[in-house]
Amino acid sequence: MQLPATAKQGARGDLWRRVAAGIILLALVALTVQKGIAWFKGASEKSGAPTAAARPQSSPTSDSASPSASTSLGENRPTTAVPAANLPDARPGPTTAADPTQAKIVLESRGYLVPAHQILVSPKVQGMVVKLDIEEGRRVEKGALLAQIESIEYERDLERAVALYELSKARLLEMENGSRPEEIAQAEAELGQAQEEIVDFERTWKRNQELWKSRSVTEQELQKSEAIYLAARRRIDALNFALQLLRKGPREERIIAARAEVKQYEADVRKAEWRLGNCTIRAPISGTILKKNAEEGNLVNSMALQGNFSLCEMADLSDLEVDLAIQERDVSNIFIGQMCRVRSEAFPKRIYEGYVARLMPIADRAKGAIPVRVKVRVPSEEEGVYLKPEMGANVSFYDARDPKLPAEKK
């Protein structure tokens, strides 16, 4: 007997619903099992027993560990299990510095060599380079001549400043010394002459007054004689005041102003000397020239946004550091003064001593890491030979403090 079509469709729909319910049930079971495994792992880590998935592989514990064991760029590989202790600082305690041979590697990381101090040598004055003694890779001592800037303009400025300075000093000296005796004597003689002349002018004026009564002189002649007499009196008063000023000397305020003017021109002279002296550029430190930024004949200006604003870059290649980015999960293995061994990727067989110089105060959010600087001890005979800035380097961190560093203060 055949079932009707509607019955067949109902049976088929019921079958699909059962299959869907079974799939949902299996998914719920799988999710429950996954949560149980995660809970079990968390409980194991809290108890201090690492699970098989979290157990790190063993690694070499001596300084002769192969550099091929280093991790890829930007990653750190811990070589021993780090217990998650319930303490504020869970980093491993350093072993006794007196026995560094017993130290073990706790972390390996890759970074780049950078100079501890890299200097951009720029002139303090602008001008054309007329002499240049810069060559990449050449080591220079502090104070060595690097370049010479055209100095004609600065020489003339210095001569002008010196002339104005000498002029201001002469003016001040004249004021401080006051009037000369000859000048005072001359003023007294002029006053005496004016006093003698006024007697004759007064006599003429009085005679004309008498004659005017009899109309023997004109009114114009009388007025003229009177004006001459009065002018002579005013001249005597002026000569008297001038003589008093000569005897007193210049005002104190003018002397103070003259002294200030001398200081002003003296400062101009020193500034002109400074600018002229800076036409000669010398090495600020003893180090190696890394990069040449100008040529002879170039116009350099340290304040320019375009063109040549520096002559070269230099650094002391005996003072190198490795710049590393230590992941936050591994930074508990790092401490200041920690003993390290450094191998460059270019010369992996050459091992250099080092120590953790500093942990930067701010983390890199994008990388989830903290920048760390490891100081490298470079022998003087190998300066700039094997280790060069921006080369890749692998660093092994040990669980001991560097024995060559002074004891840590408690």
Beta strands in 237-379 (DSSP E): 280-282, 287-292, 299-300, 312-315, 319-327, 338-344, 351-359, 369-377
CA distance 336 to 358: 6
CA distance 308 to 5: 91
Q: Let me know if 369 is exposed, middle or buried by CB neighbors in 10 A (0-12, 13-18, 19+).
A: buried
CB 278 within 8 A of CB 143: no
Q: Contacts by 264-272 with C-beta closer than 8 Å and gap 24+? A: 264/168, 265/161, 265/164, 265/165, 265/167, 265/168, 266/165, 268/161, 268/164, 268/165, 269/158, 269/161, 269/162, 269/165, 271/161, 272/154, 272/157, 272/158, 272/160, 272/161, 272/162
**Residues 6+ positions from 29 with CB-CB distance below 8 Å:** none
Side-chain half-sphere CA neighbours of 336 within 13 A: 9
CA distance 57 to 108: 13
pLDDT at residue 4, as a whole number: 54
The residues facing 395 across adjacent strands are 109, 342
Cα angle value 292/271/304 (rounded, 5°)? 35
CA distance 400 to 185: 94
CA distance 287 to 316: 4
Q: How many residues does the chain have?
A: 410
CB 132 within 8 A of CB 140: no
Return left, alpha or beta for 199; rule: phi > 0 is left, psi -120 to 50 is alpha, else beta: alpha
Residue 12 phi/psi, 5-degree rounding, is -65, -40
Both structure tokens of 234: 């005013």
Element (H, E) at 201: helix 181-213
Both structure tokens of 143: 């104070």
Q: Contacts by 51-54 with C-beta closer than 8 Å and gap 24+? A: 54/81
pLDDT tens-digit profile, the chain (410 residues) = 444 555 556 666 677 778 778 788 888 887 787 777 777 666 555 444 343 333 333 333 333 333 333 343 344 544 443 333 333 343 444 444 445 567 899 999 999 999 999 999 999 999 999 999 999 999 999 999 999 999 999 999 999 999 999 999 999 998 888 878 888 888 888 888 888 888 888 888 888 888 888 888 888 888 898 899 899 989 988 988 888 888 887 888 888 999 999 999 999 999 999 999 999 999 999 999 999 999 999 999 877 766 578 899 999 999 999 999 999 999 999 999 999 999 999 999 999 999 999 999 999 999 999 999 999 999 989 998 999 999 999 999 999 999 988 877 65
| Dihedral angle of Cα 381, 383, 384, 387, to the nearest 10 degrees | 110
The H helix count followed by the E strand count for the chain is 5, 15
CB 384 within 8 A of CB 287: no
